[in-house]
């Protein structure tokens, strides 16, 4: 893990909505100035409650959603201003795996055609025989059999459909895969199989993942580094071990305290958050978490916290880590 594969700077994605007065516009700030880097071969997990902007961020990085502002550099290429045509050449480098494998597969196409489609579009194979050999190889790589090629998506279980989605994503030999809640629609036992498959493929193909999920245990299982999102911003980003063993932000602490532990007798101090996640249309001033934070101070209501580095690879956005405020 040496080279930076993805560099995102101050990325914003706002959705315009009709304002309260006729002719005016307001904005849902789904992603509100996010910056991060991902190294080649790394798995970067993005976690948070639904509506925090994590899926939108994943889609914005590969420009399935058009960012409002900010910079995206992928494999040394600044793709921020690229239009759809220019993005076509980049699509080979970055692929997505979606939450609902059934909805993301065309029900009228056979599995063979689904996996062959990107090979044909990107002209990656020259003959029919080559395409066939490649499709069958991809099926085997994701744990399916040759005879599955002639079947249709409705003939498969959820886990198998997700495997088909993974095979299609792998077809173009991408460098980066953005997996948006890839296991949340699956049974727990199947989740583990798909996570293990993703891990195995990552090593085999030297892949880099952005792994978006709301389940902290799933993210812990697969990620090297984790970013916790709240209302369109990261509140904490850290090395997995450091973040799970020593959460710093009050929101991360609350999320982790709610994760069930296998031992029912183990004591855990549960942090209960008051209220619901506020609207991204009209987010709170200052620290966006202040309306629910058990540690809220006066300054939190007006001043957005800066980024504080607490160890080599662990950052938090919270006034509690400002030496001037602490003293
Ligand atoms: Fe809580 Fe203030 Fe830290 Fe925000 S900045 S998380 S309100 S203590």
- Residue-range domain boundaries for the chain: 4-93+174-326
Three-class SS state of 8: strand
DSSP 262: S
Question: Is the pLDDT reported for residue 326 higher than 70?
Answer: no
Cα separation, 105 vs 283, in Å, equals 36
> 250: Cβ below 6 Å to ligand 1?
yes
Question: Is the pLDDT reported for residue 216 higher than 70?
Answer: yes
CATH code given to domain 4-93+174-326: 3.40.50.300
Question: Is the pLDDT reported for residue 151 higher than 80?
Answer: yes
> 305: Cβ below 6 Å to ligand 1?
yes
Residue 271's pLDDT is: 79
> 286: Cβ below 6 Å to ligand 1?
no
Cβ atoms of residues 212 and 46 within 8 Å: yes
Give φ, ψ of 112 to 5 degrees: -60, -50
318 CA to centre of ligand 1 in angstroms? 5
Cα separation, 88 vs 86, in Å, equals 5
157 CA to centre of ligand 1 in angstroms? 44
Q: How many other CB atoms sit within 10 Å of the CB of residue 89?
A: 12
Q: For a substitution probing ligand 1, which of 292, 320, 322, 325 has the most ligand atoms within 8 Å of its CB?
A: 320
Question: Average pLDDT in the 13-34 region?
Answer: 89
Q: For a substitution probing ligand 1, which of 229, 233, 295 has the most ligand atoms within 8 Å of its CB?
A: 295
- For the chain, the average pLDDT equals 92
Question: Is the pLDDT reported for residue 1 higher than 60?
Answer: no
> 295: Cβ below 6 Å to ligand 1?
yes
Relative to the CA of 251, which ligand 1 atom is closest? Answer: 6
Relative to the CA of 299, which ligand 1 atom is closest? Answer: 2
């Amino acid at each position: 893990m040496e080279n930076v594969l993805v560099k995102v700077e101050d990325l914003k994605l706002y959705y315009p909505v009709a304002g309260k007065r006729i002719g005016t516009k307001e904005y849902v700030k789904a992603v509100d100035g996010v910056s991060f880097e991902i190294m080649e071969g790394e798995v970067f997990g993005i976690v948070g409650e639904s509506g925090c902007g994590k899926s939108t961020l994943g889609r914005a990085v590969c420009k399935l959603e058009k960012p409002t502002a900010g910079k995206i550099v992928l494999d040394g290429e600044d793709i921020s201003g690229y239009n759809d045509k220019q993005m076509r050449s980049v699509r080979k480098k970055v692929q997505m795996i979606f939450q609902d494998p059934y909805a993301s597969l065309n029900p009228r196409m056979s599995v063979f055609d689904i996996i062959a489609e990107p090979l044909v579009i990107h002209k990656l194979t020259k003959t029919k025989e080559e395409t066939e050999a490649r499709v069958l190889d991809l099926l085997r790589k994701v744990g399916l059999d040759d005879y599955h090629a002639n079947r249709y998506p409705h003939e498969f279980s959820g886990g198998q459909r997700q495997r088909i989605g993974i095979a299609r994503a792998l077809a173009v030999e991408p460098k980066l895969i953005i997996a948006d809640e890839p296991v949340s629609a699956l049974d727990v036992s199947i989740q583990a199989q798909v996570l293990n498959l993703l891990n195995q493929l990552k090593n085999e193909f030297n892949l880099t993942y952005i792994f978006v999920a709301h389940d902290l245990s799933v993210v812990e299982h697969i990620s090297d580094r984790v970013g916790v999102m709240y209302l369109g911003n990261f509140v904490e980003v850290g090395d997995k071990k450091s973040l799970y063993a020593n959460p710093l932000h009050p929101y991360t602490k609350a999320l982790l305290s709610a994760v069930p532990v296998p031992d029912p007798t183990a004591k855990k101090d549960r942090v209960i958050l008051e209220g619901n996640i506020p609207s991204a249309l009209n987010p709170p001033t200052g620290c966006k978490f202040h309306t629910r934070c058990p540690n809220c101070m006066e300054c939190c209501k007006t001043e957005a916290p800066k980024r504080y580095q607490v160890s080599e690879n662990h950052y938090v956005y919270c006034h509690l880590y400002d030496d001037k405020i602490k003293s």
